Structure 1
């Protein structure tokens, strides 16, 4: 941090480079990320975009940011040579790079102080065109949210002549693929994946089939490739009946017991919003009670890109795995010739007491010229059983269609704590801060599931708004019942949870104006345990419905150093797939800076006559005790109220007061110890107030503890 010196503090680094993404053409590039931070989002192809994020890595006080022009080239068949690339390399023979989607960064500013380029990631999509750039087959149902319709993807793997099997379209049963596409579209069951061809086409098709619960088969009448989805799409009365009249040999019958079932499924999906693998966990509570234990399995489904779909698929898989189903193998005559893989039928067999039980075919052998018998291997169909599945309610990231930018319903701007300043500034920058420094921070909850993040802009007075940082949307929930002052490890019921799978234990949250530390979170039972009144706050009462903002690692921290006494106006601008909220459409929020980061911490572990927040009435002398706190030392972990002495910070004293209603009965100031006794005898509406003082500056908050008087 330079203050008036002409000494060189660092260098800006620029670079031109070309990045090849994949086979082209594609629909659009939708996001460009550096070091896990979004530099640009939108939808662009065969055009030049501008990236203007000079503060992405902390601005001039840290490692700068990124900015410059980027050409996004789809690689279409008519693409011409890029003039910038040819001019830089000085060669007229530079190819046009047809058939490859590329990004060309032109004299691009990518860092300050650090000559090493940050890790870059590019998000792109192709759902609406084929590999030749022509409109996708059955275009109306090709795209599901931000994903491809799996039926379209499988069909293209069979028919594409560039990287697929190259089969003629006439070999595809169009009706079955269109029916599957309609069903998957209505279910919201899309598929997103980077295919690097390290796996075979068959393996990729099988991966998609596992996600959508489908089978590929050959139509026995036409020889065409069909797709069949396993769904509850039949009437039992309409099914073909198989019994002793159709069966040559009942080769096997097996029924699994409860001990053979699974009662918990963990499904790992790849979250599009964070570009990270995440789990959803579903439970069959009834099965767990029957078995008296938890039996789990883990499924990897990287084609799923959002938690909503992951929950649905995990629930489907659990329903199959948690139900004891029977399996049969039958050798049948040609009367069952119309059945195929994935079909269902009714089966009856008097000897085993089976009557009209529905089975689904897993495998079928249609026989040979010399042996016309048809061999069916089938499993009892799970749709014949009632659903009894319970799932972990992890919040939706699903988007039916790209959203336009809107304001966040839940958003806050506040003065940052000393903890925030330590963790957002380098040690060198922090040491250069002025005597009255202050910083602004902000948080917001995602307005819609497909939003990316938000920018913070601020101003003082009538000045123009200026960029002040960016943040990620924070998880949120509300408490279902009122909370008192008492600090307890008991689980607190929560509701209206959103993105709670992103909440990390050991991080802090904002509950009204009280900071709390998350000690446990239970997504199954919708509860959270909290250490109350951490950092520079104290426990206060909260009404039912009070909102928790899980802000640690998600808030925006303004990069501009301010001073206490300033009143700052701020606007939060969420970024959606279709752009960023206009400044004029954002609500103006205001925060008055008090120098919060420089204030001493209030004491902790406060007790009256040995009890924290006593429930029983007190009488006679009242002894107040507390423990020291030290903001300068408390930068490693979030200290609970119940902890013993830390510090104190040099120069700290305490003021403790006894009130009866609005009347101050007695006050002690300048205390440097951790105890004080009030010798009063009769009180009507008593309370104790306690705060810390250093250099004439009071702690950010004051303990206010009321109690009964006997």
Structure 2
């Protein structure tokens, strides 16, 4: 008889049903499910449902530690949630629904060759859901599509009656909270944090305010909770003044020494993709040089998930830690009854040579009513430093690398073109633009190193913050026919992009080549809605594509706007009085047809003299067809917009208009000699021709123009011959 072959067991797969409660619910969405820090399920879930997980090789397959193969029932935690069918199958129907808790029930294979449960983790977003009394200020709750507005976090921590502080909403200064929410939203200052309840809510709120540089105060006038942010949001001239008339006692005054300063700040934040901790570092080279070494400091802001925001916060912290700021402790009369942490005031003390130093309150001790004295500890405000005035200050050899803000030396205040609209707006948004409106745009250069950005102020109101653009000075003048020139220098050559546009005076050009070593630059002339112009030596070329500021508020045709560029450095912002004023009249430029291109007279672009009839030719342009393309003057003719015609104006030798030819629909026109003589009153030594587009009565933003000499041939016996029969 033969023997039966025995089967051999080489390992086991392990499975179970597990119920995991994660956090308070409901939540907006579950973005990812991980096991042992590996992606188990990556599709976004926004409602209670069961999903299949089929990752049998997640931990290496059967030859190693197996993987997951089963079902995950996701319970979002809403108020109508029912018991999980995966749980009732194991425990029966007499179990709760676990409403108000985000839960996960997994049933299936968990591993192979390893009886230990791999740890699960979950990436969850909760910003809009779970509010007890409805979402407060919904339009500003979500920042960057993933983070919560810190003002909303604070609001819910104060008012939630399940896990929060249970304060009524009436105890919140709603207007103040909304204003703070607007500021943080505009800054892109969203946070993603977990409060695990191992710490108090007070300590959690302290983490929030440490991130955003702010504090929670109770307004002594209203008794309402307010948030105060540390921002440059004050007018130094309107601040209260504490001096010898109001200060009972100067308890202490000291200024940080160089040995106490930090020259390098590293901010730790959370990578939004991997959710791992990462870092960004900034340095103050002047402080490092003065100390002859690097004194670093590492700060954890793990609620930040944006590298750009982390860099800005690192710069904020560096400015505060690398500047030799003054500290003061004063006892003040009841005049300071309304001072709160992070409020600002001006401090004057002639004995120390201090006049109107802007200070920010660090702490306030209101004392007792019978004493009538309030004790304030304050720190010199980093944003208020430009307004400080020091009298009799002892000099030293150190030169501050941070200079007081100065005006932007080069500015170009223009109206947004159709090309810029197409590049920044969706077709749907573009369709909502009123054809009779216009939008101003500012290009402004950086005054020097250490300048952050600037605020564009139009008609006295701040409209937006903008980045400085690179500029270059053209060494020689440019005539209408030149394409290549030399530039003296570029303050940031990284902003010079071949193929993009730049602006010089009232002409847009395309950058076709640039040699940073020799300074040679080649330009395509008269692009977008402009034509070639003459430019004198030392004209400024603005590389403003992507580095500009646009007022998003529409202005009607004929509106006259006045703009100021308010620059900002580590020492503060420019006094608006010191900022030059640039003006602009709105023409709804984006709605004007593009002018024709390749303007030629008798086959030449800019002839000095001509003989015989005048033949004018051109190429059509179409802003709609061109879309985002920046065509030069020589490129092929395009079918113009519907309703577009061309107009030619003829001026005599005295520059008096003598003929207007309208309604032209082709791409050429010949002006006979006899018409010239008839229209202009005889023979002319010089004549001027203008050419432009017209669509439905709207003229192109610019027109071609050329003045040239006229030469006439003699016909012996008959006088002059103009190619016709004049003079017989």
With the length of structure 1 as denominator, give the TM-score of the two structures.
0.51
Q: Structure 1: how far apart are the matches of 2:36 and 2:102?
A: 22
**Residue 67 to residue 131, structure 1, CA distance change in 2 (3 Å):** farther
Cα separation, 1, equivalents of 2:72 and 2:12: 22
Which of 55, 80, 83 aligns to 1:81? It is 83
Contact 1:266–1:281 (8 Å) recurs in 2: yes
Instruction: State yes or no: 1:373 paired with 2:368.
Output: no
For 2:159 and 2:78, locate their aligned partners in 1 and report how far apart those are by CA, in whole Å: 19
Give 1:67's match in structure 2, choosing from 60, 69, 72. Answer: 69
Query: Is the counterpart of residue 103 in structure 1 residue 76 in structure 2?
Result: no
For 1:511, the equivalent position in structure 2 comes to: none
Q: Aligned partners of 2:364 and 2:201: how far apart in 1?
A: 23
2:355 is paired with a residue of what secondary structure?
strand
Q: CA deviation at 1:198?
A: 1.1
Q: Please say if 1:198 is aligned against 2:181.
A: no
The residue aligned with 1:30 is 31
Query: Does the 8 A contact of 1:347 with 1:359 survive in 2?
Result: yes
In 1, Cα distance between equivalents of 2:213 and 2:367: 26
Matched, 1:233 2:233: yes
Q: Which structure has the greater CA radius of gyration?
A: 2
**Secondary structure of residue in 2 paired with 1:43:** coil
Q: Structure 1 residues 12 and 358, CA, compared in 2 at 3 Å: closer, same or farther?
A: same
Q: How many angstroms apart in 1 are the aligned matches of 2:78 and 2:34?
A: 24
Q: Are the equivalent residues in 1 in contact too, given 2:59–2:67 (CA < 8 A)?
A: yes
The Cα of 1:192 is off from its aligned counterpart by: 2.0
Aligned 1:516-555 pairs, distance under 5 A: none
SS at match of 1:345: strand
Quote the residue 1:355 is aligned against: 355
Gaps of 5+ in 2: 1-5, 387-399, 403-493, 496-728
**2:94: which partner in 1?**
93
SS in structure 2 of the partner of residue 290 of structure 1:
helix
Equivalence for 1:395:
none
Correspondence 1:620-635 to 2 at 5 A: none
CA distance in 1 between counterparts of 2:65 and 2:102 reads 30
Higher mean Cα deviation, 207-216 or 376-385? Answer: 376-385
Distance 2:373 2:185 in 1: 38
Q: Which residue of 1 aligns with 2:452?
A: none
> Aligned partners of 1:379 and 1:84: how far apart in 2?
59
Q: Distance in 2 between matches of 1:218 and 1:82?
A: 45
Give the aligned partner of residue 49 of structure 2.
47
Does residue 140 (structure 1) correspond to residue 139 (structure 2)? The answer is yes
Give 2:171's aligned residue. Answer: 171
Q: CA deviation at 1:261?
A: 1.0
Q: CA contact under 8 A between 1:265 and 1:283: conserved in structure 2?
A: yes
The alpha-carbon deviation at position 72 of structure 1 amounts to 0.9
Deviations 1:102-141 (CA, angstroms, capped at 9, x unpaired): 11113x2333444433332111121112354x54211221
Deviation string 1:257-291 (CA, Å, 9 cap, x unpaired) is 11121112223334343333333322211100001
Whether contact under 8 Å (1:24, 1:131) holds in the other structure is: no
| Change over 3 Å in CA distance of 1:253–1:129 after alignment to 2 | same
Find the residue that maps to 1:298 and give its secondary structure: strand
Cα distance in 1 between the residues matched to 2:97 and 2:383: 54
CA contact (8 A) 2:73 2:84 kept: no
Question: Could you tell me how far apart the structure 2 residues matched to 1:71 and 1:243 are?
Answer: 67
SS in 2 for 1:204: helix
CA–CA distance in structure 2, aligned partners of residues 251 and 190 of structure 1:
40
User: In the alignment, what sits opposite 1:286?
Assistant: 286
CA distance in 1 between partners of 2:67 and 2:21 (Å)? 22
Q: 1:337 to 1:171 in 2, by over 3 A?
A: same
Alpha-carbon RMSD across the aligned residues, in angstroms, is 2.6
Q: What's the offset of the Cα at 1:292? A: 0.6
Deviation at 1:59, TM superposition (A): 4.2
For 1:6 and 1:388, the matched residues in 2 are separated by: 80
String of CA shifts for 1:559-610, please: whole Å, max 9, x gaps. xxxxxxxxxxxxxxxxxxxxxxxxxxxxxxxxxxxxxxxxxxxxxxxxxxxx
Deviation at 1:382, TM superposition (A): 0.7
Partner-residue secondary structure (3-state), 1:335:
helix
Map of 1:558 onto structure 2: none
Moved more, 169-178 or 140-149: 140-149
Residues 358 and 385 of structure 2 are in contact (CA less than 8 Å); yes or no, is this contact kept in structure 1? no
**Contact preservation (8 Å) 1:128, 1:135:** no
- Give unmatched runs, 5+ long, in structure 1: 390-494, 497-710
- Alignment CA distance shift 1:255-1:353 (3 Å): same
Report the alpha carbon displacement of residue 338 of structure 1 after superposing the two structures with TM: 4.0
Contact 2:59/2:66, CA 8 A, preserved across alignment:
yes
> CA–CA distance in 2 between the matches of 1:20 and 1:376?
47
Q: Are 1:131 and 1:162, in contact at CA under 8 Å, matched by a contact in 2?
A: no
Structure number with higher relative contact order (C-alpha < 8 Å, ≥ 6 residues apart) = 1
What pairs up with 1:353-502 in 2 under 5 angstroms?
353-385=353-385
Point out the more displaced range, 42-51 or 290-299: 42-51
Deviations 1:444-482 (A, max 9, x none): xxxxxxxxxxxxxxxxxxxxxxxxxxxxxxxxxxxxxxx
Distance 2:207 2:95 in 1: 39
How far the C-alpha of 1:62 sits from its partner, in A, is: 4.4
User: Aligned residue pairs: how many?
Assistant: 384
Q: Distance in 2 between matches of 1:345 and 1:271?
A: 39
Distance 2:37 2:306 in 1: 18
Pairing 1:302–2:316 present: no
Residue 44 of structure 2 aligns to a residue in which SS?
strand
Deviations 1:358-398 (A, max 9, x none): 11111123343212233222111011348979xxxxxxxxx
CA distance in 1, matches of 2:316, 2:88: 54
The C-alpha deviation readout for 1:583-639, integer Å capped at 9, x for no partner, is xxxxxxxxxxxxxxxxxxxxxxxxxxxxxxxxxxxxxxxxxxxxxxxxxxxxxxxxx
TM-score, structure 2 normalization? 0.50
Q: Secondary structure at the match of 1:42?
A: coil
Preserved contact between residue 266 and residue 296 of structure 2 (Cα < 8 Å)? yes
Q: How does 1:215-364 map to 2 (within 5 A)?
A: 215-364=215-364
